[in-house]
Structure 1
Amino acid sequence: MTSRELLARLVSFDTTSALSNLELIHFVQEYLAQYGVESQCIDDDTGSKANLYATIGPQDKCGIMLSGHTDVVPVKGQPWTSDPFTLTERDERLYARGSCDMKGFIASALAIVPQLSRQTLHMPVHLAFSYDEEVGCLGVRRMIDVMEGLPVRPAMAIIGEPTSMKVMIGHKGKRSVRVTVTGQSGHSAYPTEAVNAIEYAAELVAEIRRIHAEFKVNGPFDSDYRVPHTTLHVGVFNGGTALNIVPNQCTFDFEIRHLPQDDPDVILQRIQDYAAKVLLPDMLGVSVKVGFDFMTLSGYPGLYTAPDAAVVEFARGLLSEDSDVSKISFGTEGGLFSERLGIPAVVCGPGSIQQAHKADEYVSLAQLQACDGMMGRLVERVAR
């Protein structure tokens, strides 16, 4: 099957993160089996989702890993002009949910399996396909747990997120946190006898904004990123029931998107200290049944791979045209592979992130063909 034919099959499976990805995983497993390639499914706790890991070539050598996530973001509420789960060609573009992010890369990787299986490889190619990347790089952690026990691990990894087929050597990390502020309710005519959870939540939000402003002014900075510094952002805020009731609870969600050299634990501790040392004492003056609760929702580490690392040279050598390496602000599973397994990684895949997560997502035919070219050169590299 060609990469285009495989892509049509892959996008036909609705693998929105809230749903199962097993139909897609079983399709891939059966496809690999046709060519004598054994694969391992690594299930989640519910048995409704799975990662897939396979090795083509010598089992006792490290080799190169091609990594991609199988889940996609929802289409609900988006004004698609064609069926998002049917690959549709218009104007040299292939439209479907996941065509760009990131089933195009997976299709291109699967398309070279017949060639790889027919040849004697001096270097293995590992396939690592995960679930629930879109909701915090969750599924790949289960796969990494298994890989930690392998006698031989990949020497390097290419993460096929959409980068317009440019080699990216770094990305920011992310920490998402939910804060619950508990106050003391009361009649709004007597606000001094109550603790307004919304107001104290707002004070903490203002502190988060001040910390963001400090990074904006003081850095550290990395000009390779479109936003060259660590950022903080509050995206969800909820509280209160009626205007004449002093609210006793408020919740808000914020995120830290940090440069690899910035420690999100240090930033989070600063926010927690402000709540505990500046805001809480005033609240306790009215009631002892008040406080702040911080719950981490998701997170993943940043990625930084040295420009002269072997994986960078390897990946650049697979491209038809050499170009400077750069960095991306969105996250990938590469940081987890690097941090937990010591596998140096780069990010390189077909399509633009600007087309992802929106209606009429697409990958251009030219980009998919460029990825096919990269995969063809990979076959030559590992077989010679």
Structure 2
Amino acid sequence: MLRLDAPEMLARLVGFPTVVGQPNGDLIAFIAEYLEGHGARVHVLVGPEGDRSNLFATLGDPDMPGHILSGHVDVVPAAEPGWLADPFTLRRDGDRLIGRGAVDMKGFVAAVLSSVPDLARMPLQSPIHIAISYDEESGCRGVVHLLKHLPDLCAPPQGCFVGEPTGLVPVLRHKGKAALRLVAQGSPGHSSRPDLGRNAIHALVPALAAARHLAEDLAETGVRDTTFAPPYHTVQIGKMGGGEALNIIPESAWAEIEARVLPGSDPEEVLAPVIAAAQAETGVTAEILAAYPALGQEADHPLADLAQALSGNAPGAPVSFGTEAGRFQAAGVPSVVCGPGDIARAHKPEEYITLSELAAGCDMVMALGRHLSTG
């Protein structure tokens, strides 16, 4: 049976260039074979795209209520010029382990997988499930298909730990998000005769103005939760384009807009005024590209106490970035975000996790195993 320590496992995981939106079959096959070699029940769940899969594995009796350790294995692209070496070859610099996905979030996955041989030998009174997902970085898309299968894979779980990098400080609440794409089709022509064409960029202006005014209104008079920073829903226009030349009436134009919303609100509903403004214009369509709910786990839930006991840290402040934890909670699984490393290093050149952080992640995983072995 293959046994790798956490840095060795991380090196193997980073070596698979599983960029979001791309196939991940080789990595999933490696993880499946490794887990099966240690006696886990493994289910590879092929997504509707056909070239990407989730994985769900169980140590212990799946018919008993257990806990999920969840992580995604897709990573953002690594085309930034700031990398000093191949981002898909893990390298060590002092205490740092550098590579794309090292902290977001193959580090947590490595901590979990490297602990499996020891977990498998424990007298678990309730099971530990391992959930591996794809395409988290494009709006938590892959895990949706995993959650559809969950009732057939195990008894209703007691809780889920999503190991995004929080410095092992449990996070009980985060914002939800929706991403909206607007596309306008016009009629081209010479700019000297705008009366003979229809300007696609102009057609987007009402929706763009609605987005700007909505962002201002939410900041000034919208719902508040002072535990978040910023303490209100946010809306921003993040990308846009259109037109071919200054003297041609633009035939097409597009823009992408996001909303990040507090727990208790639907991010798609928050964007409704922008969608309405778009649909009121001729030739403009609006499409939700991705959306995921906020996380709003109660502070007095037993999972919060367990997360504190396992991590050694009291729950921290809510965060404005999103995770798959909101998806798990919406599916009826109590959830907390807690993993090794610092989110500030994610999506940057020379991304890294430290050896000590990785070891602390392993300690938390093993603490869960001990807790579930005491009955």
Instruction: Indicate whether 1:116 and 2:119 are aligned.
Output: yes
Which deviates further from its counterpart, 129-138 or 342-351? 129-138
> What's the secondary structure of 1:377's corresponding residue?
helix
- CA separation of 1:264 and 1:324: change in aligned 2, threshold 3 A: closer
Query: What does 1:135-154 align with in structure 2 at a 5 Å threshold?
Result: 135-150=138-153, 152-154=155-157
**Cα RMSD, aligned residues only:** 1.7
Residue 336 of structure 1: aligned partner: 327
* Contact 1:92/1:364 (8 A) holds in 2: yes
Query: What does 1:265-276 align with in structure 2 at a 5 Å threshold?
Result: 265-276=268-279
Query: What does 1:189-268 align with in structure 2 at a 5 Å threshold?
Result: 189-268=192-271
Residue 364 of structure 2: aligned partner: 374
Residue 326 of structure 1: aligned partner: 317
Q: What are structure 2's unaligned runs of at least 5 residues? A: none
Equivalents in 1 of 2:68, 2:279: separation in Å? 45
Residue 85 of structure 1: aligned partner: 88
Residue 161 of structure 1: aligned partner: 164
**TM superposition shift of 1:18:** 3.6
Equivalents in 2 of 1:333, 1:150: separation in Å? 18
Which deviates further from its counterpart, 197-206 or 372-381? 197-206
**TM superposition shift of 1:52:** 0.8
> What's the secondary structure of 1:308's corresponding residue?
coil
**TM superposition shift of 1:262:** 2.4
* Contact 2:182/2:278 (8 A) holds in 1: no
- CA separation of 1:223 and 1:364: change in aligned 2, threshold 3 A: farther
**TM superposition shift of 1:150:** 4.1
Instruction: Indicate whether 1:355 and 2:345 are aligned.
Output: yes
Equivalents in 2 of 1:190, 1:23: separation in Å? 56
**TM superposition shift of 1:338:** 1.0
* Contact 1:51/1:131 (8 A) holds in 2: yes
**TM superposition shift of 1:276:** 4.5
Q: Deviations over 1:61-110 (max 9, x none)?
A: 11110000011111113321132122212131111111100111111111
Find the structure with the greater CA-based Rg.
1
Instruction: Indicate whether 1:24 and 2:27 are aligned.
Output: yes
AA in 2 matched with 1:247: P
Q: Deviations over 1:258-317 (max 9, x none)?
A: 11222223323222333445xx3xxxxxxxxx3321011111111110111111111111
- CA separation of 1:91 and 1:228: change in aligned 2, threshold 3 A: farther
AA in 1 matched with 2:295: L
Query: What does 1:45-64 align with in structure 2 at a 5 Å threshold?
Result: 45-64=48-67
Equivalents in 1 of 2:154, 2:343: separation in Å? 35
* Contact 2:66/2:155 (8 A) holds in 1: no
Q: Deviations over 1:353-384 (max 9, x none)?
A: 11011110000122112112212211210111
**TM superposition shift of 1:344:** 0.9
- CA separation of 1:52 and 1:324: change in aligned 2, threshold 3 A: closer
TM-score of the superposed pair, with normalisation by structure 1: 0.92
> What's the secondary structure of 2:63's corresponding residue?
coil
Equivalents in 1 of 2:125, 2:102: separation in Å? 32
> What's the secondary structure of 1:220's corresponding residue?
coil
Equivalents in 2 of 1:116, 1:193: separation in Å? 71
Q: What are structure 1's unaligned runs of at least 5 residues? A: 281-289
Percent identity at matched positions? 38
> What's the secondary structure of 1:237's corresponding residue?
strand
TM-score of the superposed pair, with normalisation by structure 2: 0.94
* Contact 1:78/1:358 (8 A) holds in 2: no
Instruction: Indicate whether 1:3 and 2:6 are aligned.
Output: yes
**TM superposition shift of 1:59:** 2.0
* Contact 1:69/1:102 (8 A) holds in 2: yes
> What's the secondary structure of 1:100's corresponding residue?
coil
> What's the secondary structure of 2:240's corresponding residue?
strand
**TM superposition shift of 1:31:** 1.2
Number of residues paired by the alignment? 371
- CA separation of 1:94 and 1:217: change in aligned 2, threshold 3 A: same
Query: What does 1:301-312 align with in structure 2 at a 5 Å threshold?
Result: 301-312=293-304
Equivalents in 2 of 1:64, 1:151: separation in Å? 10
Equivalents in 2 of 1:148, 1:193: separation in Å? 58
**TM superposition shift of 1:58:** 1.8
> What's the secondary structure of 1:273's corresponding residue?
helix
> What's the secondary structure of 1:99's corresponding residue?
coil
Equivalents in 1 of 2:246, 2:347: separation in Å? 37
AA in 1 matched with 2:306: F
* Contact 1:230/1:262 (8 A) holds in 2: no
